[in-house]
Amino acid sequence: MLAPFVIVAMNALKSPAEYAADGPLSIPDGIHLQGLIDFWERVGFGEKLLNSLMISGTVAVLAVVISVFNAYALGIGKVRGRAWILIAFLIANTLPQEALAYPLYFLANETGLYDTQLSVIIIFTIIQSAFGTYLLSSTYVGFPTELLEAARLDGANKWQTLLRVVVPISRPTLGVLFVFFFIWTWNEFFLPLILLISNDTQTVPVALGLLQGQRMMDATMANASALLGVIPAIAFFLIFQRTLTRGITAGAVK
C-alpha cells in the first residue's frame, strides 16, 4: 500500500534529467524541489488548496448537521412512512454522478450558481447528507429509550433532548461522518469539473486533471502534482485518526 506513495515521493524529488537517465524506481541522488516549485506556481496551488479546504470543510459540517436533524426525526421521532423515506435516501446514494451531471448543470445555470463554489457546496451537502441520514437513522433506531424518557421527565423539550442527550452520545459517530465527508468531497472530480470552469474557483483535483490533460508537465512535475494533491487529505486523516478510531469502536465495549 505504501509503495506507490514512496515511488511518487522519490520521483517528485528528482530532476527531469535524473528521471530520464535512471528511471522511476531509482533512489534520487539529492533533493530537487524545482518540480514542486514549478507546479505550485504554474497551477496557483495555494489558491486551489484554499478552495478545496473551504468547500470540503463546509460540506462536511453542513452534511453532518443536516444528517443529525434528519436522523433524529426518522430514527427517534414519529414520522410516517419512515421506511419509504430511508429507501429514497438509499436509492439517492446509488445514482451515478453521470446521471446527475446534466440536471445539476441545468439547475445551477438557471439559478445563477454556475461556476460558483456555492453550487458545489449545496450539491455535495445534499449528496453526503443522504448517506449520513441513512446511517444515523439506523443508529438512532436503537437509541436507549430510557435516556429519552429521563430527559423528558426532567422537562427537556425535543430540541434540548437532541442537543444535550442525543448529539453528545453520538459524537464518535458524527466524528467519523465528518472525516468521511471531508475526504470524499476533497477527492471529488467529475461534478466540480463540470460546475467550476473558472481558474479562481477550481479545486485541487480539477486543477491537477486539467493541467495533466494539457500535457504541460514532465514526469517529475506530474509526480510533484500527485504528491501535493494527496498530502492534505493524508494530513487531515492523520489529524482526525483518533476520532475515526473512537467512532468505529464506539459501542464495541459496554
23 within some domain: no
93 within some domain: yes
CB 220 within 8 A of CB 10: no
d(CA 210, CA 178): 28
- Give the number of domains in the chain: 1
Rounded percentage of the chain residues whose pLDDT exceeds 90: 44
Tens of pLDDT along 180-225? 999 999 999 999 999 999 989 999 999 888 776 555 567 888 888 8
Tens of pLDDT along 35-60? 888 888 888 889 999 999 999 999 99
pLDDT of residue 230: 86
Look up residue 144 and give its DSSP letter.
-
CB 177 within 8 A of CB 64: yes
Tell me the whole-structure pTM to 2 decimals.
Answer: 0.87
CA atoms in the 13 A half-sphere facing the CB of 47: 12
Task: Identify the domain containing residue 119 by its residue range.
Answer: 33-249
CATH number at residue 60: 1.10.3720.10
146 within some domain: yes
Which grid coordinates are listed for 78? Answer: 414519529
CB 178 within 8 A of CB 64: yes
Average pLDDT, the chain: 87
